[in-house]
Amino acid sequence: MRKPAATPRIGKASAVQAAGQCVCGAVRFEIDVPAVWAWHDHSAASRRAHGSAYVTYVGSWRSRFRLLEGEGSISRFEDAEAGTTRSFCSRCGTPLFYERRRAPKMVNIPRPLFSGRTGREPRYHLALGEAPDWAYLGEPLAPLKGYPGVMWERPRRKKSRETGGLV
Ligand SMILES: [Zn+2]
């Protein structure tokens, strides 16, 4: 949509940044690349917060994260019991930053918000035990006859159903 703004290199900023934004573009940010790590979060809390089967996050040091635009458009929800703070764009609703009290130097950002590479592949899975049984986990798919572009998971045979679902 629009090119990331050129950012002056100040202090310890690395030469490469990954830029991201919410759906409406009111909130824009960047991190220095590479990020610390990336993972798939299957927890019920993240699932609800995003309205999706699971969330893929990129974790960045807070010192390597910069909010470029939209401070006033960010709403925050603090879950005191869980020790987490989730923010989202108050204009378009995009989930933004996920901060955890137990890791105060980190800010976790949904991977889809970045338009380019972040320097880390999501190779880790957290809270897989909380994954819902309806989540797609790579089961074989076949084209659905009469519906171009639609793939579906064929019903399992009785034999495989007996062995149970996931985990
Ligand atoms: Zn927005």
Which residue is associated with the tokens 């987490």?
84
Confidence of residue 1 (pLDDT cuts 50, 70, 90): very low
Q: How far is the CA of 1 from the centre of ligand 1 (A)?
A: 14
- Which uninterrupted H or E stretch holds 50? helix 44-50
Cα separation of 74 and 132, whole Å? 29
The mean predicted confidence, pLDDT, of the chain is 90
Q: How far is the CA of 142 from the centre of ligand 1 (A)?
A: 36
Give the tens place of pLDDT for each residue, 105-132: 999 999 999 999 999 999 999 999 999 9
Which of residues 12 and 83 earns the better pLDDT score?
83
Q: How far is the CA of 106 from the centre of ligand 1 (A)?
A: 22
Average pLDDT in the 86-115 region? 98
Q: Which of 1-5, 35-39, 78-82, 101-105 has the lowest mean pLDDT?
A: 1-5
Which residue is associated with the tokens 């006859």?
145
Amino acid identity, position 62? R
Q: How far is the CA of 72 from the centre of ligand 1 (A)?
A: 11
Q: How far is the CA of 143 from the centre of ligand 1 (A)?
A: 35
Average pLDDT in the 67-78 region? 98
Q: How far is the CA of 7 from the centre of ligand 1 (A)?
A: 21
pLDDT at 167 over 60: no
Give the tens place of pLDDT for each residue, 24-58: 999 999 999 999 999 999 999 999 999 999 999 99
The confidence score (pLDDT) of residue 137 equals 87
Q: How far is the CA of 70 from the centre of ligand 1 (A)?
A: 8
pTM for the whole thing? 0.82
Domain boundaries, the chain: 17-130
Q: 17-130 belongs to which CATH class? A: mainly beta
